[in-house]
């Protein structure tokens, strides 16, 4: 954030103890220098919503401008042969290496999260013919639930809903009780979009496999926030977005992971020329590309893939373990402040570090009003109905002083 004068003024209004803690933690933060790489943001005091839309890097400005001059203006259609055709899988492999814990050849960048959820859920269900049940949970993000409702209606399938603790998330025991020989697919979020609860991905994946079903993990709040090891954990399918902790910009394309062992078995339904074995053969019959490429349908959104490359490079340099360590320190600090300084506010997220994602949900009946007022004042968290203030703390772009000043303004607004 650039408005250092305002932050400095606000910092002076904090209790000395809180101010000193924030300053000390920033001084000790090995990742602190990364903050200077983000584009300045006039008038902003604290950005507490990096899990909804990551801030742009200064480098992204030049990357977009030079893309116009170079690959687009100068090379034009020739750029398809010179990199664009491979961009979905090349960028997918980078994502796999940097944030997913996955080997190359299993990840593609394409479409939106919703469209990829549709394609992959359909594909998974078709790969388990005769099984008529989809298992999902009521706390999952709306688009995940809506996609499944559409598929269930069109295919005459049943959705078996798990209703987890809303302040935590789905447990392996709940999944074990829900799956059976009738289950084709289990679709869950790895990190709950409200509570920030981290599901026990390895254990739940085993439970799903024991029932002979496939699991599709929504990684929207995980990718770039917590270390993942999709290959080692035996994940079948995963989908996630890139505009949160990967800073791809509003509506940047999503990613899908499909384990190598399933790529011959699982076929997605939106057959397009860019997922064909030879897109420029233009023959009479669709023949899917081998490997991960068959997940592509239409022309790859090349421009939308550019900004996330800058962030992926930073995350790779910093390393996911260090990113996670700072994330835990930031969310821990936010909870400390809520506990000590925000009267009537309840932490509605897991306290245990191993179950706590990159954001913290705070709860108070006045938060709908407070969030609207905070936005006007340059403090930007998210509001989630009915009365949640969600504090999303993107590790590379957020400082401890920012968390302290932002939440102190929330305290003022609570009155």
Q: Which residues are catalytic?
A: 141, 218, 243-244, 390
Query: According to CB under 8 A, which one of 15, 30, 40, 227 is a site residue for its own copies?
Result: 40
For its own copies, which stretch binds (CB under 8 A), given 14-22, 35-43, 96-104, 172-180?
35-43
Span 303-322, contacts to its own copies by CB under 8 A: 303-304, 307
Candidates 100, 241, 258, 347: give the one binding its own copies (CB under 8 A). 241
- Asked if residue 340 binds its own copies (CB under 8 A), the reply is no
Q: Give me the residue label for tokens 């609570």.
A: 414
285 scored as a contact of its own copies (CB under 8 A): yes
> Which positions ≥6 away from 363 have C-beta within 8 Å?
345, 346, 347, 348, 387, 388, 389
DSSP secondary structure string for all residues of 205-218: HHHHHHTT-EEEEE
Decide: is 399 part of the binding site for its own copies (CB under 8 A): no
Residue 341 interacts with its own copies (CB under 8 A): yes or no: no
- Alpha carbon separation from 310 to 70, 196, 245, 322 (Å, rounded): 17, 26, 12, 18
Is the Cα torsion angle 191, 196, 198, 199 positive or negative in sign?
negative
Size of the site for its own copies (CB under 8 A): 83
Closest CA to 60 of 87, 32, 38: 38
Q: Which of residues 68-87 bind its own copies (CB under 8 A)?
A: 68-69, 72-74, 76-80, 84
Q: Is 224 in the site for its own copies (CB under 8 A)?
A: no
Side-chain half-sphere CA neighbours of 19 within 13 A? 10
Among residues 4, 20, 30, 43, the one that binds its own copies under rule CB under 8 A: 43
Compare residues 67 and 341 and give the one whose CB is closer to its own copies.
Answer: 67
The residue from 28, 158, 286, 316 that contacts its own copies (CB under 8 A) is 286
By the rule CB under 8 A, 147 interacts with its own copies: yes
Which among 275-283, 333-341, 345-353, 361-369 is the span making contact with its own copies, rule CB under 8 A? 275-283
Q: Whole-angstrom Cα distance, residue 121 to residue 119?
A: 6
Single residue of 5, 27, 36, 42 touching its own copies by CB under 8 A? 42
Binders in 154-193 for its own copies, by CB under 8 A:
154
Nearer to its own copies, 204 or 241 (CB): 241
Among 34, 141, 245, 408, binds its own copies (CB under 8 A): 141
CA distances from 263 to 120, 127, 210, 235 (A): 11, 11, 20, 13
**Alpha-helix runs per DSSP H in 319-349:** 320-341
* One residue of 202, 234, 301, 353 binding its own copies per CB under 8 A: 301
Alpha helices in 29-157 (DSSP H): 58-67, 87-95, 113-126, 142-155
């Amino acid at each position: 954030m650039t408005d250092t004068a305002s932050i400095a003024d606000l910092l002076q209004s904090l209790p000395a103890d809180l101010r000193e803690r924030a300053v000390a933690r920033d001084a000790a933060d090995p990742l602190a220098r990364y903050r200077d790489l983000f584009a300045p943001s006039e008038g902003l005091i604290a950005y507490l919503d990096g899990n909804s839309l990551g801030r742009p890097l200064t480098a992204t400005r030049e990357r977009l401008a030079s893309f116009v001059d170079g690959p687009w203006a100068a090379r034009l259609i020739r750029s398809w042969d010179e990199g664009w055709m491979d961009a979905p899988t090349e960028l997918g492999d980078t994502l796999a290496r940097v944030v997913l814990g996955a080997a190359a050849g299993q990840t593609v960048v394409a479409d939106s999260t919703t469209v990829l959820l549709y394609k992959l859920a359909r594909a998974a269900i078709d790969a388990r013919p005769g099984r008529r049940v989809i298992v999902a949970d009521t706390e999952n993000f709306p688009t995940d639930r809506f996609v499944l409702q559409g598929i269930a209606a069109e295919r005459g399938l049943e959705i078996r809903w798990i209703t987890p603790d809303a302040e935590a998330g789905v447990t392996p025991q709940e999944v074990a009780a829900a799956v059976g020989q009738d289950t084709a697919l289990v679709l869950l979020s790895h990190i709950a979009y409200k509570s920030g609860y981290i599901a026990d991905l390895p254990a739940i994946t085993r439970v799903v496999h024991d029932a002979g079903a496939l699991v599709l993990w929504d990684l929207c709040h995980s990718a770039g926030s917590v270390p993942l090891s999709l290959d080692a954990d035996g994940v079948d399918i995963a989908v996630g977005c890139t505009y949160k902790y990967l800073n791809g910009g509003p509506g940047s394309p999503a990613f899908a992971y499909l384990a190598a062992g399933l790529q011959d078995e699982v076929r997605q339904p939106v057959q397009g020329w860019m997922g064909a074995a030879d897109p420029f053969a233009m023959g009479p019959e669709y023949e899917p590309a081998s490997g991960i490429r068959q997940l592509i349908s239409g022309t790859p959104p090349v421009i939308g893939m550019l900004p996330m490359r800058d962030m992926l490079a930073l995350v790779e340099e910093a390393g996911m373990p260090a990113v996670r360590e700072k994330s835990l320190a930031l969310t821990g600090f936010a909870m400390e402040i809520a506990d000590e300084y925000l009267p009537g506010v309840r932490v509605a997220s897991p306290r245990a570090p191993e179950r706590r994602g990159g954001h913290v949900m705070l709860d108070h009946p006045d938060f709908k009003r407070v969030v609207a007022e905070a936005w006007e004042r340059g403090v930007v968290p998210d509001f989630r109905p009915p009365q949640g203030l969600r504090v999303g703390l993107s590790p590379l772009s957020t400082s401890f002083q920012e968390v302290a000043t932002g939440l102190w303004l929330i305290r003022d607004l609570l009155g």
